[in-house]
Structure 1
Amino acid sequence: MDADRVTSGESTPQLTVVLADDHLVVRAGMRLLLSQDPAFDIVAESSTLPETFLAVRRHHPSVLVLDLAIAGQSSLRSIPELLEASPHTRILVLTMQGDPAFAREALRGGAAGYLLKEAAAEELLGAARQVAAGATYVQPSLGAHLAVADLATSRAGADDLLTAREVEVLSLLALGHTNQEIAGRLHISVRTVETHRARIRDKLDAETKADLVMAARERGLLP
């Protein structure tokens, strides 16, 4: 392990940190930045996954700053195991991987934060403070991409939820047609229209016609 120390005495800060990255220069930069806040104490550094597990098990740090690629190995799938080894540790991923899919997978695995190495120095310090305080932090630019991707997913899910006939009924309802008019246009009975309407209402969790149309539009089912 590149560095491994435990501070002692009354000078020991409240929040302990382990830095996991296989680049010495990167770790030195992180150490310098985090040392600006007296609340943080870098108790260990690691350059491989086995070293990271050893440091986490030994120190149970408040924060683990973790690269997703360490010495040729992906640490993404190790996040749940690291948390199992130290349940109270908050993991802040610091990586070059800007793909929202990696961020989503890391957060699902239990990471408390996701930050790109291109971020400003102050952002790393702020992110570390936030995750240590129990919050979740995602780099704003990446968070926007995640929000768009999640919205697209929810829209696709809602579209799959309704049948083709229900989408037709919903579209006509949004245009202001009555049940009788919809029945005539689709060549079905009024009772069938009412049944479709009830099913649509249940699926979209919308009570009134206005709620139903709004829910459909929010999910991308209507223009």
Structure 2
Amino acid sequence: MSELGQGLIVVVIAILVVVLLKDLLSNATSSKKNGALYSSKPLLSDWERKSLEELRVAVPNDWHICPQVRVADLLTINTKSYSERLSALNRVAKYSVDFVILDPHRNAICVIELDDYSHKESKRRARDATVNRALDEAGIRLVRVRPAKRHDWSKILRDALGYDPLQPNIASTDLALNAIRNAPLSAGTQLVYLHSKD
């Protein structure tokens, strides 16, 4: 092959490399919305949004339902040792729960997790065990709900809390907190209450 032919092949290859690199860089930057690294996304899935709407009518008006709460924000780590505190924080800091129900005094009285198909995966089960253990140790009631077309949130909360939060006067008393901590769960509901011992 002549020098001209070899030179032509080198030029063609160089042009192809430039075109491919330009295309790759163009695709990489076009995946960023308006050139920004971050963009917003919906906080809740459709199931979470629907559940939040249904939960709102199952609790008194002076209660609050907080979606997507980081587990670490629900807990106080009770150790003076910096390394133990850091280790305990690292175990839960990356996890969040679907809903936290707060009483009128802003105490977390119940956590609700919506357990879709992903909770069957081994990595997710390990995550769930860590969350279960931490919330159980802190004395925070955890309710796990599996998918269904419709949930009877009033019944789920009654079973989880041991009383009807919409019952006049009971939800606003300090007796309610004691009832929550000591309430047994009744069978036959759509909820699964997981203890760290399970």
TM-score (norm 1): 0.33
- The answer to which structure has the higher helix fraction is 1
Higher relative contact order (CA 8 A, sep 6+): 2
TM-score (norm 2): 0.36
